[in-house]
Amino acid sequence: MGLENFFNPQSVAIVGASRQKGKVGYEILTNMLAAGYKGKIFPVNPKAQTIEGLKCYPDLESIGEPCDLVIVIVPAKIVPTVMRQCAKVRTKSAIIITAGFKEVGKEGRELEKQVIQIARQSGIRVIGPNCLGVIVPANRLNASFGGDLPAIGATGYLSQSGALLAAILDMANANSIGFSKLVSIGNKADVNELDIIKALGSDPDTRVIAGYLESISDGDAFVREAEKISNYKPILLMKSGGTTAGAKAASSHTGSLAGGETAYEAAFERAGIIRCDSIKYQFDFSQAFANQPLPKGPCVAVITNAGGPGIMTADAIERQGLDFAKLTDKTISKLAEALPPAANLYNPVDILGDALADRYEFALNVVLDDPNVNTALMLLTPQAMTESAATAEAVVKIARQKPEKPILACFLGAAKVADAIKILREGKIPQYDSPENAVTTVKVMVDYVRWRSRPKRVVKLFPVNRRKVETIVDRHLRQGIREIGETESKEILEAYGFVTPRGSIAATAEQAANIAQQLGYPVVLKIWSPDILHKSDVGGVKVGLNSTQEIMDAFDLMMYRIPKKLPNANILGVLVQEMCKSGKEVILGMNRDPHFGPLMMFGMGGIMVEVLKDVSFHLAPLTAAEAKQMLVNTKTYKILKGVRGEEGVDIEAIAEGLQRLSQLVTEFPQIKELDINPYMVGPEGSTPIAVDARISVEQV
């Protein structure tokens, strides 16, 4: 069922309408009237005959006709009764403003379940409970207690916090920022963030989707749908409530480094969502996306009447990785014809402190015609002769005449530019209070365009032995064993095309020496126990052993010391393994996030992963390009590529390992955590070796 009745109802009943100022039921009713809503309004209150000149009804049935939308503001315990009335009169949409549900504890949670059960049995869609309401400026609908109706705009906004939405609405009204729709989703007991984002995605009045979220109900579905929508509409979200609680229970390196925030970052990156760190940034970005065309490239031209702000902007452009547009000779000649001799004709174009509005207009006109310019940034400082308001009018005029390229403005100052800023905002020109914020916005727009133009995602599937993995995983789950030992973990990896070192388990020092002779020196000894996850922490790893005596001594020392440190550990012996003689150590890992599924990790391996914490994450399944980008995203990527004459390693081979691991964890949701550490990689053409591995599983 669609959400049309929430956004464009022909009739609205307010159950709990009040005559008392300051009550929510009064504020919503008066907000509806003040907004100029054109449909029918039915106040429902058994203790009143009229409210604000409108006839009041004792209940929904007494209205005598079905209402498109019912707003519920009665005490929480009465809400189920109202919902049954909604079902009786065939209402299909309800906004439950009332608080006191799952946010207050067990009793409220049960009450909320009861309300939603009634709604679903009756085919009623519900926004809330515990929400601020819904606002649609174009339809003069202010079904909320959030404040005055804002201007009409192209940004659709959803918020999980009603209080924050009220603050955003107040800020927007103070700055003449408009919206297409605003929705407070509250407890999202029925209609959730994905429902609203999908509705805004198909809404012709919405060019930009923005919002504030504390949680996501269905991470997998959210990423899929948001990725589709981001291909034609930008989504700008603030996200709070990140947690590392999941990492506290993790046993792998990947699990300990992958907190809740990491998963959200990876999910947003996959879906093309632009994450905003503050309300200000969200406003900055949304105004540009809502009112300006997308830039076709990273080349920015700056027009200024002051050298200082021009230099500040130049610094910001370089720091953000954007390009200064190289103006053509034709453009420079045209500028020279009309600008004063002292003006700087090159980018940034400094038209000097005595520039009047006509000089700004001329320069902007010429610069926008330059094929090398993708975005124009207008800087103004209020000097003695500056015509701030007239300059703003000129910028708006040129923008309407030449709407193909984005124009952003930074009119610095306060009282002297106040009228100009108002003209810019009314003319749909984004205005920023600093050059840095303007340039950051350009960077976000350029990155979004790059994301939209990315190649189609193609996930490669490798020939594997799934049956082998099923056998090992199923046996461990039947026996209630969560941790898969190193030997069987490597068997799983081998089934998916990984190469592992040869080795065997020894129960005595003599057996260890015999195995080493068969493998060839040097060898590695590792303590073998299902109860010891991090072997090196307890002295359970010895490397580079080159003789029988060294091996026997190392074996005896492990078997003597480790039981003293861990008396309850079940020690089965020692793994004797061939030693990889050269290469660099990296780590490939996965931690299954409860919301978004398998989260892949890459970083430098061995103990360095915990020391440096220089890791990158991405949601599985991975494409070849995404796997390689995970390497590029680390600070140590240059080391892998080779520095100061040192030979690099096979980057493509590491990326393939990530893809194979991605396929494994995608095809086996029972795998909860996985580390390959170290994954030894050598020069191009060599075969990487999965030296050590750890896998944990759980029932799904």
What is the per-residue DSSP string for 372-410?
A: T-SEEEEEE---TT--HHHHHHHHHHHHHH-TTS-EEEE
* The architecture CATH gives domain 292-452: 3-Layer(aba) Sandwich (3.40)
**CB distance 269 to 422 below 8 Å:** no
Q: Are 112 and 138 in contact (CB under 8 A)?
A: no
pLDDT band at 402 (very low <50, low <70, confident <90, very high): very high
Question: What pTM does this model have?
Answer: 0.89
DSSP secondary structure code for residue 175 in this structure: T
Q: Which of 232-246, 300-314, 443-457 has the lowest mean pLDDT?
A: 232-246
The pLDDT, as a whole number, for residue 467 is 97
Lowest mean pLDDT among 26-40, 130-144, 312-326, 570-584: 570-584
Tell me: domain 4-138+154-206, CATH 3.40.50.720, correct? yes
Q: In sequence order, what are the beta bridge partners of 189?
A: none
Strand partners, 694: 675
Q: How confident is the model at residue 342 (pLDDT cuts 50, 70, 90)?
A: very high
pLDDT, residue 663, reads: 98
User: pLDDT (tens digit, 9 = 90+) per residue, 169-213?
Assistant: 999 998 889 999 999 999 999 999 999 999 999 999 999 999 999
Q: Which amino acid is at 608?
A: M
The answer to whether the peptide bond before residue 678 is cis (omega within 30 degrees of 0) is yes
The per-residue pLDDT for 612 is 64
pLDDT at residue 620 above 90? yes
Do 502-578 and 584-697 have matching folds?
Answer: no
pLDDT given at position 485: 84
What pLDDT does residue 246 have? 41
In whole angstroms, what is the distance from residue 597 CA to residue 267 CA?
10
Q: What is the pLDDT of residue 609?
A: 61
CB 542 within 8 A of CB 554: yes
598, 619, 545: which is closest to 575 by C-alpha?
Answer: 545
Q: How large is the angle between the packed helices 548-565 and 509-519, nearest 10 degrees?
A: 130
Coil, strand or helix: which one is 216? coil
Query: Which of 164, 174, 272, 190 minimizes the C-alpha distance to 182?
Result: 164
pLDDT at 607: 62
pLDDT score, position 606? 63
What interhelical angle do 219-230 and 193-201 show, nearest 10?
20
219-230 vs 260-271: helix crossing angle, rounded to 10: 30
- The span from the CA of 438 to the CA of 407, in Å, is 10
Q: Can you give the pLDDT at residue 248? A: 46
Average model confidence (pLDDT) for the chain? Answer: 92
Domain boundaries, the chain: 4-138+154-206, 292-452, 502-578, 584-697
Helix-then-strand count for the chain, H and E: 25, 30
Per-residue pLDDT tens over the stretch 461-508:
999 999 999 999 999 999 999 999 888 999 999 999 999 988 888 899
State the pLDDT at residue 252: 45
d(CA 101, CA 72): 14
Q: How far is CA 543 from CA 7, 521, 522, 578, in A?
A: 68, 11, 8, 10
pLDDT at 628 (0 to 100): 95
Residue 234: per-residue pLDDT: 98
Does the structure show a pLDDT above 50 at 17? Answer: yes
Tokens representing 216?
């996501």
- Say what the pLDDT of residue 254 is: 44
Average pLDDT over residues 316-332: 96
Lowest-pLDDT range of 159-163, 239-243, 340-344, 514-518: 239-243
- Is omega for the bond preceding 621 within 30 degrees of 0, making it cis? yes
Range with top average pLDDT, 105-109, 356-360, 526-530, 545-549: 356-360
User: By C-alpha distance, which of 470, 218, 444, 435 is closest to 348?
Assistant: 435
Q: What is the pLDDT of residue 486?
A: 84
Let me know: does 148 contact 132? Beta carbons within 8 Å.
no
Q: Which amino acid is at 280?
A: K
E strand or H helix at 441: helix 435-452
Report which DSSP code applies to 538.
G
Q: Looking at the domain covering 502-578, what would its CATH class be?
A: alpha beta
First to last CA, the chain: 31
Residue 255's pLDDT is what? Answer: 44
Indicate the burial class of 539 (C-beta count within 10 angstroms; 0-12, 13-18, 19 or more).
Answer: middle
Main-chain dihedrals φ then ψ at residue 197, nearest 5 degrees: -60, -40
| Predicted local confidence at residue 251, as pLDDT | 43
User: How far apart, in whole angstroms, are the C-alpha atoms of residue 82 and residue 100?
Assistant: 15
Q: Could you report the per-residue pLDDT of 357-388, keeping only the tens digit for each?
A: 999 999 999 999 999 999 999 999 999 899 99
What are 556-572's pLDDT values in tens digits? 999 989 888 888 888 88
Q: Which two tokens stand for residue 35?
A: 């907004």
Question: For the residues 248-273, what does the mean pLDDT come to?
Answer: 70
Question: Any bridge partners for residue 377, and if so which?
Answer: 302, 408
Assign a CATH topology to domain 584-697. D-amino Acid Aminotransferase; Chain A, domain 1 (3.30.470)
Of the candidates 482, 522, 483, which has an alpha carbon nearest to the alpha carbon of residue 501? 522
pLDDT single digits (tens) 423-466: 999 999 999 999 999 999 999 999 999 999 999 999 999 999 99
